[in-house]
Amino acid sequence: MNSALDAPLPPGDDPWAVLRAATRARVALGRTGDALPTARELEFRAAHAAARDAVHQPLDPALVRGRLPGVELLEVHSAAPDRATYLQRPDLGRQLAPGTVLPRAEADLAVVIADGLSPRAVHEHAAELTTALLDRLPGWTVAPFVLAHQARVALGDAVGEALGARAVVVLIGERPGLSSVDSLGVYLTWDPRPGRADSERNCVSNVRPPHGLSYAQAADTVAALLAAARELGASGVVLKDEGPALPAGTG
Amino acid sequence: MSARRGTIGGHTYEFPTLVELMAKATPARSGDVLAGCAAESAEERVAAQTLLADLPLTTFLDEQVVGYDEDDVTRLILDTHDRAAFAPVASLTVGEFRDRLLAWAAAGDEAAISALAPGLTPEMVAATSKLMRNADLVAVGRRTRVVTGLRSTLGLPGRLTSRLQPNHPTDDPLGVTASVVDGLLSGCGDAVIGINPATDSPARTVALLELADEVITRYGIPTQSCVLAHVTTTLRALEAGAPVDLVFQSVAGTQPANRGFGVTLDLLAEARAGALALGRGTVGSNVTYFETGQGSALSADAHRGVGGRPVDQQTLEARAYAVARQFAPLLVNTVVGFIGPEYLYDGKQVLRAGLEDHFCGKLLGLPMGVDVCYTNHAEVDGDDTDSLMLLLGAAGVTFLIAVPGADDVMLHYQSLSFSDVLTTRSVLGLRPAPEFEAWLARMDLLDDDGRVRELTADAPAARALLAAASG
């Protein structure tokens, strides 16, 4: 700690650069009176606008289908009829819309691609990550993919049960931050059925190349988790994560 | 107890217990809808408020929202209730109490309002807030005096202090220091330099405590630091001899919710004793810091009261203040927009909740601050946080939380910026804590009018502080 305090000022024309170089936080923005200068204010607004748009942009099935040619993709809706309800009623986002029918597949694995809080993350990363994951699962039977609107993670439990799958993997848009609007999360649940606790899932977060986890890194981890879950017949805290959930330096 | 009935607009509404009456009298918010306890119509809400207004305050001493036998927070509330302090308002109904508070506030009778605290229960205060408009909450909050201190004095009239929150995604010492320096140069940090650690590792907590202590000591800054680790981690830091100014903990309004946080009242008492024993104060001896927030009990599925009925989130929030006040805190703040739109959906709900929490906390005797904040999936933006911060400034809030550029890069939400604190101070004529203001002047960081300078980097103070951030 002493070194942080005792080091001399570095050379250069702009001593404020010292602060900016030390952190990604918005330091040394300057002021006009007591307020932010116009340029800094607009930068902040742009970041917030991107995050807002990432939340509210509707999930576009055509965008996902276009990147998964020849793949059977079913569509379901949660019990939340619109975005405003979805945001206020997480309980409804965990249930299938009344009357939803899915074919029995009796497969090893169900894959649910869910909008979550960032449909943009799904548009940008879901197809590539799904492909990378299936490449690593030879010998696994996989149910038709399910694209889920207004969905929370636990909707995968209902989908997995309806399909008759032994495990479900949910790829879902994570809550956008100001500097990361397109992070995809992956949740794995063995023996899916409604009522599963979050502690019975495993999660790989921040799939977002090139800034976050790459598709290959994420798929390696999820495939390893799936193999271990099949071995153990369970997922969640009982299951040791065999690979790194986050690469060094993504924070 | 029997059901209470009220007729309004030709309809009769029935409220089986005090739990429903309190919930349905609560101004609308998403969390109560999610819990299934919100009023189902605007008229039902006013019918509940009308019945609530006629309840004697003593009702809350005889009839519980959360059961006495089941919950240690209820036992704490009732077992520590001070009848003598309650006496001046003991004969009033909730509605009459609202009227009395507003009359005292208008007359500037801070002593009458502030002396009530030990005689009030969270449920009394929550009920009263449900009958108040936003301006009522401001008017009474402004005249409720709570002064605390450790190395700076907080809560004095005409002052607005701030928590400088220099979080970093990996707790990098240089990164944290850069944000600390930025905040100090902007006149912030007089309430506390409070760091949320990225992990709950004891070693990391000790390292961050030493870093903050080093900055405070080296520049002689009259403030205190806090690493907002779990209380058990802080206990280990105390055992390791770390420079702990403040013991931090998140608390909630029911025993199961506190269990979910991994805390008991005994644990908090033990940690407070440990920090007190260090004797690190110069102007006071308040050594605890608590955070709360509407919705925390519901999110832990620990929000049920008598008969298993869901209790509204605002009443539960006020009950958390009973936990906090047991430990003579230096600082308490509600984190008002952090938890998400399923609890507070939009700017109107966040604004209302922030003012309620400040009012209830102050009236119960807490040095109440607010983290005015939002996440990107809530219907809230910088205009909403501007409105709340200015109203809180008018309400005499003890402190506001500020992060560099309003963007917390570790917790991924937006709070206020350092410049927002300066704006609130200058618009409302408020000043920093007196000891910190004197330090700013010594560092030549104030201009002739007492405002924080727009620095040039070669100013002596800037050079001195920038030295701390160069690696």
Q: With beta carbons less than 8 A apart as the criterion, state whether B310 and B267 touch.
A: no
pLDDT digits (tens, 9 = 90+) for A30-72: 999 999 999 999 999 999 999 999 999 999 999 999 999 999 9
pLDDT digits (tens, 9 = 90+) for A196-223: 998 899 999 999 999 899 999 999 999 9
Contacts of A168 (CB under 8 A, 6+ apart): A109, A110, A111, A112, A156, A157, A159, A160, A188, A189, A192
Of the pLDDT bands very low, low, confident and very high (cuts 50, 70, 90), residue A98 is very high
**What stretch of H or E contains B109?**
none
pLDDT of residue B105: 98
* CATH number, span A60-232: 3.40.50.11240
Cβ <8 Å between B414 and A15: no
Ranges of each domain in chain A: 60-232
pLDDT of residue B94: 98
pLDDT of residue A247: 36
The answer, for B178 touching chain A at a CB cutoff of 8 Å, is yes
CA distance to partner chain A, nearest, from residue B13 (Å)? 26
Cβ <8 Å between A48 and B414: yes
Q: Which of B373, B368, B370 is nearest to B337 (CA)?
A: B373
Question: What predicted TM-score, i.e. pTM, was given to this entire model?
Answer: 0.94
Which residues of chain A have a CB within 8 Å of the CB of B211? 1, 4
Q: State yes or no: pLDDT of A241 exceeds 60.
A: no
Cβ <8 Å between B182 and A10: no
Cβ <8 Å between A52 and B376: yes
Q: State yes or no: pLDDT of A250 exceeds 60.
A: no
Bridge-based pairing of strands A167-173 and A184-190 is antiparallel
pLDDT of residue B199: 83
Strands (E), A115-226: 145-149, 167-173, 184-190, 201-207
Q: What is the ipTM of this complex?
A: 0.93
Instruction: Please give the mean pLDDT across all residues of chain B.
Output: 96
pLDDT digits (tens, 9 = 90+) for B61-94: 999 999 999 999 999 999 999 999 999 999 999 9
pLDDT of residue A3: 42
Cβ <8 Å between A34 and B423: yes
pLDDT of residue A5: 43
Residue ranges of alpha helices (H) inside A12-110 are 17-22, 38-56, 61-67, 83-88, 90-93
Q: How confident is chain B (471 residues) per 10-residue block, as mean pLDDT?
A: 87 97 98 98 97 98 97 98 98 98 98 98 98 98 98 98 96 95 96 93 94 96 97 96 98 96 94 98 98 96 97 98 98 95 98 98 98 97 98 98 96 96 98 98 93 81 77 55
Cβ <8 Å between A31 and B166: no
pLDDT of residue A244: 40
CA distance to partner chain B, nearest, from residue A38 (Å)? 13
Question: By three-state DSSP, how is residue B102 classified?
Answer: helix
Q: With beta carbons less than 8 A apart as the criterion, state whether B284 and B149 touch.
A: yes
Select the residue of A25, A31, A54 nearest B404 (Cβ to Cβ). Answer: A25
Q: Which of A160, A178, A161 is nearest to A169 (CA)?
A: A160
pLDDT digits (tens, 9 = 90+) for B361-394: 999 999 999 999 999 999 999 999 999 999 999 9
pLDDT of residue A10: 54
Contacts of A181 (CB under 8 A, 6+ apart): A50, A51, A53, A54, A118, A120, A121
Of the pLDDT bands very low, low, confident and very high (cuts 50, 70, 90), residue A232 is very high
pLDDT of residue A2: 41
